[in-house]
């Protein structure tokens, strides 16, 4: 099995409930930020990666999103009749992603700084890691009001706690998805299995990150993109 990720999974199937009323007429990844669909900002992070394919899952108002992604060379996989969450969605897309670890990337964030996926690839150690999550120090987040999801220990391993926010970008091995019996489940289920085996790691992002999962995040993200001091 390949040790390095050869594909990218873009999560784009969400209902966008936090983004209403904007998502009454558009799927969240098609909402414009700085004059471009939100998902195009995510696709920017894949430029230059040594991958064979990019796959996006679709569910809510998929027609316009599918049409747009086709122009970008992105393969799409439908989740019907129900949405499968991140873990179920990744497993459902595996026939399109190929063998070995994959990059996954959420489509509702804005990054200001070095490419997160390239940083993950540089830090990936497949002999030691089952997943490497890009994590943002809370002080470097924008439009985010929580305390974080994880702590990172001195060896880089992740533990549930505060201080670091999961950014939506990672490299993850997919073989253990088959051990989970549920159809719909979060990747948190798989991460907990990996953490119990001391194989869940985190990487601290050196730049800034904005949550654009709600309408208030749009103006904040646009201001972040316009800044020259970060």
pLDDT digits (tens, 9 = 90+) for 103-152: 999 999 999 999 999 999 999 999 999 999 999 999 999 999 999 999 99
Q: Are 33 and 131 in contact (CB under 8 A)?
A: no
Tell me what pLDDT residue 63 has: 87
* Residues of the chain under the 70 pLDDT cut: 1, 230
Cα–Cα distance list, 210 to 106, 176, 206, 216 (Å): 12, 31, 13, 11
Tell me what pLDDT residue 14 has: 84
- Tell me how far apart the alpha carbons of residues 46 and 105 are, in angstroms, rounded to a whole number: 9
Tell me what pLDDT residue 61 has: 86
Tell me what pLDDT residue 224 has: 96
Tell me what pLDDT residue 207 has: 96
List, in order of start, the domains of the chain with CATH numbers.
7-226 (3.90.550.10)
Contacts of 95 (CB under 8 A, 6+ apart): none
DSSP code at position 50? -
Tell me what pLDDT residue 166 has: 97
Tell me what pLDDT residue 34 has: 94
Question: ω before 21 within 30° of 0 (cis)?
Answer: yes
Predicted model pTM: 0.94
Q: Are 60 and 30 in contact (CB under 8 A)?
A: no
Tell me what pLDDT residue 100 has: 92
- What residues does 164 pair with on adjacent strands? 137, 150
- Tell me how far apart the alpha carbons of residues 23 and 16 are, in angstroms, rounded to a whole number: 6
Tell me what pLDDT residue 123 has: 98
Tell me what pLDDT residue 22 has: 75
Tell me what pLDDT residue 227 has: 86
């Amino acid at each position: 099995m390949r040790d390095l990720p050869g594909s990218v999974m873009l999560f784009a199937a969400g209902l966008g409930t936090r983004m209403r009323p904007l998502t009454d007429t558009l799927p969240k990844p098609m909402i414009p930020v700085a004059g471009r669909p939100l998902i195009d900002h995510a696709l920017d992070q894949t430029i230059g990666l040594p991958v064979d394919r990019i796959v996006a899952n679709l569910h809510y108002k998929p027609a316009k999103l599918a049409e747009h992604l086709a122009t970008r060379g992105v393969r799409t996989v439908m989740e019907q009749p129900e949405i499968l969450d991140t873990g179920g969605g990744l497993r459902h897309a595996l026939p399109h992603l190929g063998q070995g670890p994959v990059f996954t990337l959420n489509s509702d964030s804005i990054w200001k700084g070095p490419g997160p996926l390239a940083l993950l690839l540089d830090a990936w150690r497949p002999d030691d890691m089952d997943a490497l999550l890009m994590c943002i120090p809370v002080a470097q987040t924008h439009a985010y009001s929580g305390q974080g999801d994880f702590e990172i220990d001195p060896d880089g391993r992740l533990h549930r706690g505060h201080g670091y926010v999961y950014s939506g970008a990672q490299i993850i091995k997919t073989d253990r998805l088959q051990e989970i019996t549920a159809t719909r489940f979060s990747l948190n289920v798989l991460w907990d299995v990996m953490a119990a085996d001391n194989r869940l790691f985190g990487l601290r992002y050196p730049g800034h990150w904005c949550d654009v999962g709600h309408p208030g995040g749009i103006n904040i993200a646009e201001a972040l993109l316009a800044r020259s001091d970060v």
